[in-house]
């Protein structure tokens, strides 16, 4: 699709240009835009293969290291031993370790057991056995050396996986239902659309220089956090045309969180890739490129409103109107697929919970073997940092459940293990202020021990999301209890790790952002006591059937 090159008659009155290409602003207005214009970030792959993998860490150009590497899923990880209080005062290069985080994109979260084994073996060989399941269905490694990256790519690509555009100002992994095509409840299977989008557009230089990241999701079920993606296609039945998708745009968290809005259209499965291309093109051409913190599509949708957004999509890009469509009936809470469930073909799937997505390469290799022993060849990761094993005959469910439990992947977890998520945190993330994964683990242990008496009274688990900084990689604003890492003052007046608390956020029927109460902060050491108090108060005061976010 060719971007408009002339100034549009729609040009709104603006005090200052926002760097929108479609309005004629092609000169970069910040260093990120300059870097992308100077050299398409996809070109960095050849330099990694031909220069940096041979020359080692010190041979890497700083512009590639802290910029273009992201287009292949590579970030430098945090140098060990630098405490969170120093995150903001040090220069980026002082925080850089010479090892990398590497993100593998897993579109739709779907893997064969063969792919899973390769992902696990790469971790064992090149990543010190690290592997985290992210809340965007990716796998994230740590301790990667630049020298090993070309070999890792070869191994991934040999089984149809890649790290292309896993990070950067690019079309990131497309979320999909972990149980697409087998769920008895889904309206429609979105897998063909995800496959086609990846085939057509991922790695295409025409879409590799966006104003910022572009997060999309496609599912016939409400299991992809559709309210907080840049664009989401959500299964809905049209009264005349049958199953298709309702389109949501402009969601996002971090600073300035916004819930996505419906465009009010109905899209048949075969048209989803074309509509996705029109949406990403509007973002590329009209998205704001002056200030990084205003560069997500949500700001454009907010300023234009959904009517104008739809009109531009239809008239300038699709060149045809879209059909009006009905809204899907919002579920009370999103589906997480944990536990044992019957598929529509009579087989079963088993969803299991590690704590906050933390697994290891060895666990993933063993998981592939366990799934195959139970007759399965497919697994999927979920947007809640869980894993689902698909296509199990009924008689094999108990054996698989036992194997999963031995691997630390519980198919029948406590509500605390089931609903706690955490981002990468200070262990590896350069932006982090506090520890998150280990904190989640100790919190789950504490709550399982102390709140065993109230577990059975909670109809839906109380979700606890832990972030290591003010960004929202673990979606804190839409958790019942959202914890934003920061340095706080403890009772003795000392500066220690802690959290700003957000209470009462949620997705589904209660979708909205948690309230940030002034001064409502807790130290990391007091976290277990705090959550116990909040949950006991909720249990004591709630009306019958009341959810935490209500």
Chain residues that interact with ligand SF4, rule: CB under 6 A: 423-425, 429, 431-432, 467-469, 471, 473
The pair of structure tokens assigned to 318 is: 């699709």
- Whether 311 contacts 220, CB under 8 Å: no
The pair of structure tokens assigned to 229 is: 């993606």
- Closest residue to ligand SF4 using C-beta atoms: 468
Q: Pick between residue 102 and residue 197 the one whose CB is nearest to ligand SF4.
A: 102
Residues ≥6 apart with Cβ < 8 Å to 91 = none
DSSP string, 273-318: HHHHHHHHHHHHHHS--S-GGG-SHHHHHHHH-HHHHHHHIIIIII
Task: For the CB of residue 103, give the shortest distance to ligand SF4 in the complex, in Å.
Answer: 11
Find the farthest-apart pair of alpha carbons in the chain and give their distance in angstroms, rounded: 67
Question: What does the alpha-carbon distance between residue 387 and residue 525 come to, in Å, rounded to a whole number?
Answer: 30
Q: Rg for the chain (alpha carbons), in Å?
A: 23
Burial pattern 261-271, b for ≥16 Cβ within 10 A else e, equals bbbbbbbbbeb
Q: Pick between residue 117 and residue 437 the one whose CB is nearest to ligand SF4.
A: 437
Kindly report the CA angle at 413 between 409 and 418, in degrees rounded to 5?
A: 90
Q: Pick between residue 190 and residue 468 the one whose CB is nearest to ligand SF4.
A: 468
Considering Cα of 164, then 170, then 173, then 176, what sign does the dihedral take?
Answer: negative
Q: Pick between residue 423 and residue 458 the one whose CB is nearest to ligand SF4.
A: 423
Question: What does the alpha-carbon distance between residue 226 and residue 231 come to, in Å, rounded to a whole number?
Answer: 8
What three-state secondary structure class fits 173?
strand
Q: Pick between residue 75 and residue 286 the one whose CB is nearest to ligand SF4.
A: 75
Task: For the CB of residue 457, give the shortest distance to ligand SF4 in the complex, in Å.
Answer: 32
Q: Pick between residue 102 and residue 473 the one whose CB is nearest to ligand SF4.
A: 473
Question: What does the alpha-carbon distance between residue 150 and residue 53 come to, in Å, rounded to a whole number?
Answer: 7
Please choose, from the candidates 253, 41, 282, the residue with its C-alpha nearest in 3D space to the C-alpha of residue 165.
41
Beta-carbon-side half-sphere exposure of residue 217 (alpha carbons within 13 Å): 32
Q: Pick between residue 74 and residue 388 the one whose CB is nearest to ligand SF4.
A: 74
The pair of structure tokens assigned to 326 is: 């009905």
Backbone phi, psi, residue 384, to 5°: -110, 20
Can you give the length of the chain in residues?
550
Q: Pick between residue 362 and residue 471 the one whose CB is nearest to ligand SF4.
A: 471
Q: Pick between residue 300 and residue 431 the one whose CB is nearest to ligand SF4.
A: 431
């Amino acid at each position: 699709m060719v971007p408009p090159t002339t100034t549009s008659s729609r040009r709104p009155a603006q005090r200052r240009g926002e760097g929108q290409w479609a309005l004629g602003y092609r000169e970069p207005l910040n260093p990120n835009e300059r870097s992308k214009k100077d050299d398409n970030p996809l070109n960095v792959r050849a330099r990694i293969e031909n220069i940096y993998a041979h020359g080692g860490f010190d041979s890497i150009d700083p512009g590639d290291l802290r910029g273009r590497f992201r287009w292949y899923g590579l970030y430098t990880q945090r140098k060990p031993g630098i405490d969170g209080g120093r995150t903001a005062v040090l220069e980026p290069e002082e925080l850089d370790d010479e090892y990398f985080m590497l993100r593998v994109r897993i579109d739709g979260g779907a893997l064969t057991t063969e792919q899973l084994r390769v992902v696990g073996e790469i971790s064992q060989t090149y990543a010190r056995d690290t592997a985290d399941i992210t809340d965007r269905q990716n796998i994230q490694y740590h301790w990667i050396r630049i020298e090993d990256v070309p070999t890792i790519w070869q191994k991934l690509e040999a089984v149809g996986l890649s790290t292309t555009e896993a990070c950067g100002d690019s079309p990131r992994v497309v979320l999909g239902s972990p149980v697409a095509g087998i769920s008895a409840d889904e309206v429609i299977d979105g897998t063909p659309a995800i496959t086609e989008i990846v085939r057509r557009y991922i790695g295409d230089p025409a879409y590799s220089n966006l104003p910022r990241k572009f997060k999309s999701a496609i599912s016939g079920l409400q299991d992809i956090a559709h309210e907080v993606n840049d664009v989401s296609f959500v299964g809905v039945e049209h009264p005349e045309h049958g199953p298709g998708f309702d389109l949501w745009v402009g969601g996002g968290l971090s600073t300035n969180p916004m819930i996505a809005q419906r465009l009010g259209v109905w899209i048949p499965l075969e048209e989803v890739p074309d509509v996705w291309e029109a949406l990403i093109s509007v973002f590329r051409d009209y998205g704001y490129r002056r200030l990084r913190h205003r560069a997500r599509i949500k700001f454009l949708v907010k300023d234009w409103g959904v009517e104008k957004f739809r009109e531009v999509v239809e008239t300038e890009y699709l060149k045809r109107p879209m059909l009006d469509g009905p809204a899907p009936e919002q579920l009370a809470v999103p589906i997480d697929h944990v536990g044992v469930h019957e598929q529509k073909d009579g087989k079963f799937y088993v969803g299991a919970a590690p704590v906050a997505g933390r697994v290891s390469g060895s666990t993933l290799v063993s998981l592939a073997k366990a799934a195959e022993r139970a007759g399965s060849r497919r697994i999927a990761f979920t947007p809640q940092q869980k894993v689902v094993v698909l296509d199990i005959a009924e008689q094999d469910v108990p054996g698989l459940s036992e194997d999963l439990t031995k691997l630390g992947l519980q198919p029948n977890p406590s509500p605390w293990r089931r609903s706690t998520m955490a981002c990468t945190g200070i262990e590896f993330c350069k932006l982090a202020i506090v520890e998150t994964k280990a904190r989640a683990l100790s919190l789950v242990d504490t709550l399982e021990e102390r709140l065993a008496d109230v577990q059975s009274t909670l109809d839906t688990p109380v979700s606890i999301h832990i972030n290591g900084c003010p960004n929202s990689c673990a979606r804190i604003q839409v958790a019942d209890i959202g914890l934003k890492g920061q340095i706080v003052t403890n009772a003795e007046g000392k500066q220690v790790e802690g959290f700003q608390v957000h209470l009462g956020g949620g997705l589904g029927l209660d979708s909205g952002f948690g309230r940030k109460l002034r001064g409502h902060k807790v130290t990391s050491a007091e976290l277990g006591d705090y959550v116990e108090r909040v949950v006991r108060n909720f249990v004591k005061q709630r009306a019958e059937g009341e959810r935490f976010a209500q």
